[in-house]
Structure 1
Amino acid sequence: MAATEHAQGGINAHPMEQFTIRPLFGDEVGLFTITNSTLWMFIAILAATALLVLPTRNGALVPTRMQLVAEGIYGFVRKMVDDTLGPEGRPFFPYIFTLFVFILMSNVLGLLPWSFTTTSHIAVTGVLALAVFISVTAIGFARHGLHFISLFWVSSAPTVALRCVLFVIEFISYFVRPLSHSVRLAGNMMAGHAVLKVFAAFVPAMGIAGIIPIGAMTGIYALELLVACVQAYIFTILTCVYLNDALHMH
C-alpha cells in the first residue's frame, strides 16, 4: 500500500495513487517500457513457478506442507474443469490452470506492502478476458462450424418474433462478455485496496485513537485476502462456463 500523507489541519489521502503505473527506468511510459506493473507480473510468474515446481520436484509419498498446497491447487482446478466441462475439457486444463494460478498470485501479491496489484488494471484483465473470448469463439466455430451461431437462437421461445428479439439480446450479451469478465476482476481488486488506503489515512490523524482504523484495516485485509482468492475462482469458473458453451452448445 502506498504511504499516506497527513496534511496540517486534515487528512490528505490519495487512494488511487497506488494504481499509478510508473516506469522503472526513465521518466516516460512507452509501448515497451518496463514498469512496476511489468515487474509484478514477472514476480507473480516466478512465485507461481516456485510454488508449483519446487515442492513437487522430488514428490514424496508423505507430502510436505508446500507440496500439499501445490497438489491442492492442482486438484481444485482439475475438479472444476471436470465438473464444468466433463472429459472433453481436459485438453484445455493447462490453459485454465495457468490462468487461475496467475490471477491468484497477482491478487495475493498485490496485498503485500509497497507492491503493485496488476489485476486492478483493466488493461491486464482486459487482455486476459479477450484471450478467453477469442479462444472460446475460435473453438466454437472449429467444432461446430456456422452452426455455432445457433447458440444465440432460443428455439424454445413460443413465437418467431420473440426468438428474433432473444437472438439480438443473446448476441449482444455474448460480445459483452469480455467487458464484464474483465471489469468484475479489476473493479473488485481496485475497490478493496482503495478502502484500505482510506482507512490508513486516518491512523496518523487520530493519534492514539488510530488503533480503531487499524483494527478495521485488519478485518478488511482479511476480507481482501478472501476476495483475492474468490475473484481468481470466479474468473476461472466463468472461463469454464464460456468454454462449455463452445464445446457442448446450449
Structure 2
Amino acid sequence: MAAEQAKVDPMHQFAIEPLFGSAHWEIAGYNIAFTNSVLWMVISAVALWIFVAGGMKRELVPGRWQMAVESFTGFIDDLLEANVGKEGKKYVPYIFSLFMFILFANVLGLVPLPLAMAGIHPFTTTSHFTLTGVLAIISFLIVLVVGFWKHKLHFFSLFVPHGTPLPMIPMIFVIELVSFLVRPFSLGLRLFVAMMAGHVLLEVLASFVIDASNAGAGYGLLIGIPSFVLMLAICALELLVAAIQAYVFALLSSLYINDAENLH
C-alpha cells in the first residue's frame, strides 16, 4: 500500500510553540515559556535598535545609513505635522517606533533567513491579533490619556459633532461612542488579517508546486511552474503590503491622536 502523501497545512505556520519546552515556565499558574513569537518580536526590536543606532552618528556628510534613518524620521515627522499639526512633534518617537517595528516584523516574517538549520523558521508576529491588538490598545490609551488630560470632560464633545440637532444628540452620541470604542479592534484586525491572508495564500501556492512536482512532469509544467511564478509575484506584493500596512497603522494612530489633541 502506497504511503499516504504528506499534506501541507497552511495554518501550521501561525502555530505558537515554546522553544525550550513549557515545563517549569510558570508564574502564578500562567505559562511564560519563551516562544517563537516572542523570539521574532525580540529579533524585530533588536533589528530596529541596530538600524536606529547605526544612523545616529550625526556626521557632517551623512552616509547612506544615516540618510535612511533621517529619511524615515522625516517621513513620520511630516505625517504627524500633516495630520496633527505642530502638536504632533512630541509623538514622533512613538509613531516612528510603531511604524518601524511593524515594518521590521512584517518584512522579517517574509525573508527566508538562514536559521532553519538551528530549528528556527521565519515567523510573522503581526499575523497574530494578540500583538496587533496590544499595539492598537497602546495607541488607543494614548488617545484617552491625552484627550482627558488636555480637555477634561469636554473630551466627550468629540462624540457630538458640531451642529447636531438637539433631539438627535443622544442617538448620535451613542453611535459615535461605539464607533470610537471599536477603533482599537478595527486597527489591530486590519493588520492581522492582511498579514495572515498573504501568508496563507503563499503556503497554498507552495503546496500546489510541491504536489504538482510529485505528480509528474506534466503536472509540474502545467500547474507547478505557473504556481511558482505566481508565488514570486505575490512575494513581491507581500513586501509592498508589509510597508503599506505599517504606514496605515501609523497613519490611523496619528489621526486618532489628532482627535485627542484637536477636538472638532
Aligned mate of 1:234, from 227, 248, 251: 248
Q: Which has the higher contact order (CA 8 A, sep 6+)?
A: 1
Give the TM-score normalised by structure 2.
0.87
Q: Segments of 4+ in structure 1 off by > 6 A?
A: none
Q: Distance in 2 between matches of 1:123 and 1:23?
A: 16
Aligned to 1:193: 199
Q: Distance in 2 between matches of 1:140 and 1:58?
A: 36
Residue 230 of structure 1 aligns with an amino acid whose one-letter code is I
RMSD of the alignment, in Å? 1.7
Residue 48 of structure 1 aligns with an amino acid whose one-letter code is L
Q: Distance in 2 between matches of 1:241 and 1:57?
A: 28
Say whether residues 1:160 and 2:152 are aligned partners.
Answer: no
Larger radius of gyration: 2
Kindly provide the CA deviation profile for residues 109-144 of structure 1, in whole angstroms up to 9, marking residues without a partner as x: 110233000011111011111111111111100000
Matched position secondary structure for 2:62: coil
1:113-124 aligned at under 5 Å gives the runs 113=112, 114-124=121-131
Say whether residues 1:214 and 2:228 are aligned partners.
Answer: yes
Aligned to 2:44: 44
Aligned to 1:3: none
Say whether residues 1:135 and 2:142 are aligned partners.
Answer: yes
Q: Displacement, 1:161?
A: 2.4
Q: Distance in 2 between matches of 1:221 and 1:64?
A: 30
- Decide whether the 8 Å contact of 1:155 with 1:163 is kept in 2: no
Q: Distance in 2 between matches of 1:127 and 1:39?
A: 17
Say whether residues 1:12 and 2:12 are aligned partners.
Answer: no
Residue 84 of structure 1 aligns with an amino acid whose one-letter code is N
Identity over aligned pairs, percent: 45
Task: Note closer, same or farther for the CA distance 1:161–1:38 as it changes in structure 2 (3 Å cut).
Answer: same
- Decide whether the 8 Å contact of 2:127 with 2:195 is kept in 1: yes
- Decide whether the 8 Å contact of 1:181 with 1:235 is kept in 2: yes
Say whether residues 1:147 and 2:154 are aligned partners.
Answer: yes
Aligned to 2:32: 32
- Decide whether the 8 Å contact of 2:40 with 2:123 is kept in 1: yes
- Decide whether the 8 Å contact of 2:56 with 2:66 is kept in 1: no
Matched position secondary structure for 1:206: helix
Kindly provide the CA deviation profile for residues 164-198 of structure 1, in whole angstroms up to 9, marking residues without a partner as x: 21111001000011100100010100000000000
Matched position secondary structure for 1:58: coil
Count of residue pairs the alignment pairs up: 241
Aligned to 2:184: 178
Task: Note closer, same or farther for the CA distance 1:7–1:15 as it changes in structure 2 (3 Å cut).
Answer: farther
- Decide whether the 8 Å contact of 2:136 with 2:188 is kept in 1: yes
Matched position secondary structure for 1:214: helix
Q: Distance in 2 between matches of 1:48 and 1:155?
A: 42
Kindly provide the CA deviation profile for residues 93-116 of structure 1, in whole angstroms up to 9, marking residues without a partner as x: 111111111111111111023300
Q: Displacement, 1:23?
A: 0.3
